[in-house]
C-alpha cells in the first residue's frame, strides 16, 4: 500500500471517529435552600434558589426544569417549568408542600433538560414540620386529656371527702 493510500485511510477513520463523538456540555447547576426555609410547614410554600451556568451556550436556549419533592424515594409533589437562558441564570422559585404530608426529611430534586441531549440533575434536602392545624389538634387533645384527668381527680376527691364526713 502506498503512503498516500494509508494517509487517506487514516483521515477517513479520523472523520468517522469525530462524527461519533457527542458534544460535552459545560453546564453547571446548583440548588440552594435558604436557611429560613430549611424547616417548612406542610401546606406552605418551600422556596429555593437555582443557579444555572451554561458558558458554552452560543444563543438563547429553552431549558425544561422539573422540580420534584421526594420523601423516602417516593414523589410527593412535582412541578414543571420552561426557562430561557443564555449563559447563566439565577432565580428563586417555590413549590407547595401538600398539607397532608407528615414531618420528616424531604429532598428537592431538580432535573434540567433541553430538546436535545442535555440532562442534568441536582438535589438538596430540607425538613418538613407538621401543619399548624395538625399541631393545634395535638395541643387541643393534650389539653383535653389534662382537663379530663383533673376532673377525675376532683370527682375522686369529692367522694373521699363525703365518706370521711358521713
pLDDT band at 27; cut points 50, 70, 90: confident
pLDDT > 70 fraction of the chain, expressed in percent and rounded: 89
Cβ(96)–Cβ(112) under 8 Å? no
Instruction: Return all residues near 77 (Cβ < 8 A) that are at least 6 apart.
Output: 68, 69, 95, 96, 97, 98
Give the three cell numbers for residue 78. 412535582
Which of 51-55, 97-101, 143-147 is modeled with the greatest confidence?
143-147
**Does residue 25 surpass a pLDDT of 60?**
no
**Residue ranges of domains in the chain:** 25-145
Give me the helices (H) in the chain, please.
Answer: 3-20, 132-165
- Tell me, what's the pLDDT at 132? 65
Give the three cell numbers for residue 5. 493510500
Distance, in Å, from the CA atom of 154 to the CA atom of 159, rounded to the nearest integer, reads 9
Residue with cell 493510500: 5
**Does residue 128 surpass a pLDDT of 80?**
yes
pLDDT band at 23; cut points 50, 70, 90: low
> Residue range 123-150: average pLDDT?
83
Range with lowest mean pLDDT among 30-34, 52-56, 121-125, 131-135: 131-135
Range with lowest mean pLDDT among 107-111, 122-126, 136-140: 136-140
3-state secondary structure of 49: strand
pTM (2 d.p.):
0.64
- 1 compared with 39, residue with greater pLDDT: 39
Residues 78-88: tens digit of each pLDDT: 999 898 888 88
May I ask the CATH class of domain 25-145?
A: mainly beta
Average pLDDT, the chain: 83
Residue with cell 442534568: 120
Residue with cell 422539573: 66
Distance, in Å, from the CA atom of 81 to the CA atom of 84, rounded to the nearest integer, reads 10
Q: Is 132 left (phi over 0), alpha (psi -120 to 50) or beta?
A: alpha
> Residue range 46-64: average pLDDT?
85
- Tell me, what's the pLDDT at 108? 93
Amino acid at each position: 500500500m502506498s503512503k498516500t493510500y494509508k494517509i487517506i485511510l487514516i483521515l477517513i477513520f479520523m472523520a468517522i471517529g469525530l462524527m461519533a463523538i457527542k458534544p460535552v456540555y459545560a453546564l453547571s447547576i446548583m440548588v440552594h435552600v435558604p436557611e429560613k426555609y430549611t424547616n417548612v410547614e406542610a401546606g406552605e410554600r418551600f422556596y429555593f434558589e437555582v443557579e444555572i451556568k451554561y458558558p458554552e451556550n452560543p444563543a438563547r436556549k429553552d431549558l425544561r426544569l422539573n422540580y420534584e419533592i421526594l420523601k423516602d424515594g417516593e414523589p410527593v409533589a412535582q412541578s414543571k417549568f420552561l426557562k430561557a437562558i443564555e449563559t447563566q441564570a439565577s432565580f428563586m422559585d417555590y413549590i407547595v408542600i401538600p398539607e397532608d404530608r407528615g414531618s420528616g426529611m424531604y429532598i428537592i430534586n431538580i432535573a434540567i433538560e433541553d430538546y436535545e441531549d442535555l440532562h442534568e440533575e441536582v438535589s438538596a434536602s430540607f425538613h418538613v414540620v407538621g401543619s399548624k392545624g395538625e399541631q393545634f389538634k395535638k395541643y387541643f387533645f393534650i389539653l383535653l386529656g389534662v382537663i379530663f384527668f383533673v376532673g377525675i381527680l376532683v370527682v375522686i376527691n369529692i367522694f373521699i371527702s363525703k365518706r370521711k364526713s358521713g
